Amino acid sequence: MENPGAKLPIGVFDSGIGGISVLAEIIKTLPYEEFVYFADILHSPYGTKQENVVRSLSIKATEFLSLLGIKSLVVACNTATSVAIQEIRKMYPFPVVGMEPAVKPAVELGSTGKILVMATPLTLKSKKFNELVYHYKHLAEIVPLPCAGLVEIIERDHSQGQEITEYLSRLFSSVNKEGISSVVLGCTHYVLIKKEIVNMVGSKIVIIDGNCGTARHLRKALQNECLLNDETAKEPHIPLRAKVRFYISGDEREVMITKCKQLLQNEGIICG
Ligand code: DGL
């Protein structure tokens, strides 16, 4: 029997536009679902704030989406996941899927080189991340690379911009690229500048993000709870047409919504 909750939208949140890179992957995996996306731009960036502040902002974001009526939540932010996912899961009855730097897939590549993890200072300081490193440290050398300030630049200019290139040049000038086999993008914003990161590190180094894994994980979580919108028999339209409602904290509402829609369109997704 169909679960009536299956018709509800999926809630997705991030501090800004980074979570759109995750949403795009989810729409490609689950083209018949509806979404509500919350960008907490008023409090962006999360990654340089105190742990308790980000935990409380993440719980507030979840509360906001939950009041709209959602069947599941995706915390499309590594920083928020690293400090708040356990509390959120305890507080809400729906499936909650989070993000973590994709260290596991990087280790599973089986290369002998170092794994560089680009993420926000808070993600890299968190207990959750340090447990992840501890778990894999006998299999690979994992090198954290905090990128304070990068989220702000991406929010200002996510398309190829000089500021991004200059930031990355400065960042990588202190990194010994010798012996690095992969770079993990441990912040959903960085996926939006993957091209610039490839230009910086060269095409021999594998760049890994957790977006596909999160989309697959969400599909499984919905399936387990009979919450999947069962329209898989139909062929999805190309370009994909997605039903997304956007909610933005702060004043820049219209500008932000246009940016979010543009980013989805770059991925072949039209918001209807
Ligand atoms: N997209 C968030 C993440 O994945 C960015 C955090 C921030 O606002 O600093 O970590």
Q: Which atom of ligand 1 is nearest to the CA of 119?
A: 10
Token output for 204: 């021999």
pLDDT in tens, 227-266: 998 666 566 677 788 999 999 999 889 999 999 999 999 9
**Torsions phi, psi of 48, nearest 5?**
-115, 10
CATH class of 103-209: alpha beta
Token output for 171: 């960042």
Measured CA to CA in angstroms, residue 66 lies from 33, 63, 179 at distances of 17, 5, 45
Q: What is the DSSP string of 80-101?
A: HHHHHHHHHHHH-SS-EE----
Residue nearest to atom 2 of ligand 1 (CA): 77
Ligand 1 centroid, distance to 39 Cα (angstroms): 11
pLDDT in tens, 108-160: 998 888 999 999 999 999 999 999 999 999 999 999 999 999 999 999 976 66
pTM summary value: 0.96
Residue ranges, comma separated, of all CATH 3.40.50.1860 domains in the chain are: 4-99+212-271, 103-209
Q: Which of 252, 187, 193, 244 is nearest to 43 (CA)?
A: 252
Measured CA to CA in angstroms, residue 177 lies from 116, 120, 193, 202 at distances of 9, 20, 19, 10
Other beta carbons within 10 angstroms of residue 70's beta carbon come to 21
Q: CB under 6 Å to ligand 1: residues?
A: 14-15, 18, 44-47, 77-79, 120, 123, 151, 187-189
CATH number of 4-99+212-271: 3.40.50.1860
The rounded distance, in Å, linking the Cα atoms of 44 and 245 is 20
- Kindly tell me if the per-residue pLDDT of 88 is higher than 70: yes
Strand order in the sheet with 34-39: 96-97, 72-75, 10-14, 34-39, 240-248, 269-271
